[in-house]
Chains A and B, each alone.
Chain A
Amino acid sequence: MTSFARVSKYRRHKFAGPVLVVAALLTIGSAFSIASALPSATKMSAGATTTQIAEGKKIFAAGCSSCHGLNAEGSSIAPALIGVGAASVDFQVGTGRMPMADMSQQAERKPPKYNAEETAALAAYVASLAPGPSAVDGANLNYERDGNTAQGGELFRTNCAMCHNFAAQGGALSQGKYAPTLMGVQPKYMYEAMITGPQSMPIFSDKTITPAEKLSIIKWIKAAQNEPSLGGATTGRVGPVTEGLLAWLLGLGSLIGVAVWLAAKAR
């Protein structure tokens, strides 16, 4: 993405040849590994069995239909689920957002209500209604191998930081809605969120952000999460507000304490 004019300056450099060979090998290698990894990820729920679908339909009727309608056709309080795909169900149910605890502005992340098997059945049922994005198998997302942290950081700052904050700590949206923190979120749910656009989030199709770039974003988020706090204790990585509070309370507060002590000793 960076300018080719800059690169051309180095084209007669003595390392240009070897670097190009290595780069070409890397590109072919990573392209191959991603190509081999991703389809299997998206094919995961293709083998859903009829029993699974029937099981899912039962769970849906019991736990979801009161809002989403008996045939997932939606209602005045909940959207239709026809065509949302297995990925959407896996994300919403797997992260505990659905079923919702109450009719507040936004479904919150909480301990999931259904176990993995039930979630898969629900996903299979919804996917059987109409085609949509398939659920992602976390085991196939080798972001550590296929992602690029620096590129992921750039993509994150361009596409995600405006809502999720520069360090993926989350941020406020209008009317009580919010972009949640991405700390501790499983990679597959990050991936599914990007392809399904849950709640206020936009959909990032494979044309806007390629699968490889999505892995880079995930790799950067994980790197930010695991990065030790380099300058000492963080104040929440939310910027100058907490820093200002600390400066007043701990900084000036302790110095006023010392000043009181210094003035009192003299009496």
Chain B
Amino acid sequence: MSQKERIIGGVANYVDERTGAAKWLNKNLKKVFPDHWSFMLGEVALYSFIILLLSGTFLTFWFDPSQRDVIYNGSYMPLQHVQMSAAYASTLHISFDVRGGLLMRQIHHWAALLFMAAIIAHLLRVFFTGAFRKPREANWLIGVGLVTLGIVEGFLGYSLPDDLLSGTGIRIAEAILQAIPVVGSYIAFFAFGGAFPGHVFIPRIYTVHVLLLPGAFLALITIHLMLVWYQKHTQYPGPGRTEKNVVGYPLMPVYMAKAGGFFGIVFGVTAFLGAVASINPIWLYGPYTPGQISAGSQPDFYMGWLDGLVRMSPPIETHAFGHTISWNILIPGLIVPGILFTGMALYPFIESYISGDKREHHLLDRPRNVPNRTALGVMSLTFIMVVLINGGNDLIATHFHMSINQIMWMSRIGVFILPPLSFVITKRICLSLQRADRDLVLHGRETGRLVMLPHGEFVEVHEPISAEKAWTLTSHEQPKAIPHVSEDANGVAKPKSLVNKLRSRMSTANAEQRPAATATEAKELEGGHH
């Protein structure tokens, strides 16, 4: 034993005798994780969050979250001697007079966009592969909480600099608060400490942005990851992979190296974007005053769909009992998002109710093998895309020489027609892909080699696919619909017949499948015409 080994061993032993860490580490460092690129989307979100914490901390050293009026006297000449809030002036100071300040601001903003994009991509992966099923419903709920908080946190960050664009966003947020029936005006007055814009909103949201929400994020992300650790990671189906094992590589050294390297790459991409691509040039927007607005004022993309909903809503208001109800803001600003997010949160429970499946699942679904869920996901995505496009209707109008009114009407109609249409199309595509899988297993791969038979007929030679691939294509379950039983054995009508009937109907639609090829079928074919 060399001198070095003795010292390190001594230290390790000292720690182990007092904490018992060796046993715990030995177990956990060997923990196996499956390997797939789509499992790294959540990692991108996690690493962006770390970048956000670091760059955000840097920004707090100089940012002054105050709406007190100051006269700008920094080095950006076009705003010299302009009256503005201290928040805006300090953001200009960070951008032009702090070494590396603009780079950090841009890294922070790019990381925020990347954070939200990665969360959404991760959420889609989890949804379309059915990773939310038992026992992971709680983690799905935490994920829905994280994406909701992310939208709020991002919006607050966008609002803090108090530039013309920020103020416009805050004004719309105030309008949405006011649209809450009966209590709206009081809530808005409470939030702003009086009339808009007031002097308290920016200091208040600053505390929420840098303390409350990051704390909530840290707590939720920790639970999110601990649950992944405890429940183990899901894996894609394949030979040797079952509901009871995890096939992959150990944390140490493979994933330590991969994750560490990937963090470096995420940081690199964010820093590259921050260095070469301008984002939110607040100095061009100018300070916020309620009398000004810019054409093409948009929120960041994760709020863009909400803006698109507001932009397409017709001007409807009702007056009742001395109160005004602004449906034009209430529906797009609160009701529709409320329905979307509640539906998203409850989806695992709804699906399990419809399918009657209460078992644990650790093997993921291929999206085509669950046509109903996949179609539902694409339907929701279509809805979001239509309203998101309408959120950018002014830019689309100018850049593609279209009329903004036409785009708005197209979205108004499209938002009702395109989602159901995409549901039907997606479901058909999924069923066709199932048929293609079945075909591939039974008839093999097309080789492109043509053979002329003695009597002159040309045929293409098909090669059987590998046993591994055939397994992957046929191992999925064939779900069974819940039958509708309206009477018990004695012919007495069951209670809640209507609910049961509805559930049975949905279950039948949900279970629609093209049967996977079976071994007997393959044998029969071999004996037959090949």
Contact = CB atoms under 8 A, between A and B. Distances in A.
B294 A258 contact: no
Contacts of B81: 150
A230 B296 contact: no
Given A157-B292, A251-B110, A251-B117, A246 B277 contact: yes
Contacts of A150: 77-82
B35 to A, nearest CB: 5
B335 interface: no
A263 B40 contact: yes
Contact of A154 (B44, B82, B278): B82
A259 B37 contact: yes
Contact of A240 (B273, B277, B304): B304
A259 B395 contact: no
Contacts of A165: 294-296
Contacts of B273: 246-247, 250-251
B382 interface: no
Interface in B464-498: none
Contact of A166 (B78, B109, B270, B285): B285
A263 B393 contact: no
B160 interface: no
Interface residues of A, number: 62
Given A158-B291, A178-B397, A230 B281 contact: yes
Given A247-B301, A255-B44, A262 B82 contact: no
Interface string A162-174: 1111110111111
B393 A237 contact: no
Interface stretch (B205-213, B341-349, B401-409): B401-409
B144 interface: no
A234 interface: yes
A161 B117 CA distance: 30
Given A162-B295, A171-B295, A241-B395, A247 B106 contact: no
A166 B37 contact: no
Contacts of A266: 35, 249, 254, 258
Interface string B246-289: 00010000100010011001100110011111111101111001
The interface centre, meaning the residue of B102, B249, B296, B301 with most chain A CB atoms within 10 A of its CB, is B296
B83 interface: yes
A115 interface: no
Contacts of A264: 37
Nearest to A169: B296
Nearest to A176: B403
B275 A172 contact: no
Contacts of B284: 166-167, 224, 227, 237
B130 interface: no
Contacts of B82: 150, 153-154
Contacts, number: 214
Interface in A219-256: 220, 223-224, 227, 229-235, 237-241, 243-248, 250-252, 254-256
Contacts of B79: 150, 153
B280 A240 contact: yes
B300 interface: yes
A243 B116 CA distance: 13
A165 B292 CA distance: 11
A175 interface: yes
B354 interface: no
A252 B118 contact: yes
B249 A239 contact: no
A158 B292 contact: yes
Contacts of A161: 164, 292-295
B298 interface: yes
B19 interface: no
Contacts of B161: none
A92 interface: no
Contact of A247 (B114, B258, B286): B114
B405 A244 contact: no
A62 interface: no
A258 B394 CA distance: 35
B395 A178 contact: no
A105 B406 CA distance: 14
Contact of A251 (B113, B297, B398, B403): B113
Contacts of B395: 172, 238-239, 241
Interface in A108-162: 149-150, 153-154, 157-158, 161-162
B47 to A, nearest CB: 9
B18 interface: no
Contact of B294 (A154, A157, A247): A157
Contacts of A167: 281, 284
Contacts of B40: 259, 262-263
A150 B77 CA distance: 8
A6 B81 CA distance: 12
A154 B69 CA distance: 16
A241 B301 CA distance: 7
Contacts of A164: 295
Nearest to B117: A252
B298 A241 contact: yes
Nearest to A265: B258
A243 B402 contact: no
A167 B164 CA distance: 12
B165 interface: yes
Interface in B160-193: 164-165
Contacts of B23: none
A162 B296 CA distance: 8
The interface centre, meaning the residue of A158, A178, A244 with most chain B CB atoms within 10 A of its CB, is A244
A251 to B, nearest CB: 5
Contacts of B301: 240-241, 243-245, 247-248
A259 B262 contact: yes
Given A234-B281, A243-B109, 7 more contacts: A153-B78, A161-B164, A224-B78, A241-B296, A247-B117, A251-B270, A252-B118
22 contacts: A6-B71, A105-B403, A157-B286, A157-B292, A176-B401, A178-B398, A179-B295, A233-B277, A233-B278, A239-B165, A239-B296, A240-B301, A241-B391, A247-B110, A250-B273, A251-B269, A252-B118, A256-B41, A256-B121, A258-B262, A262-B40, A266-B35
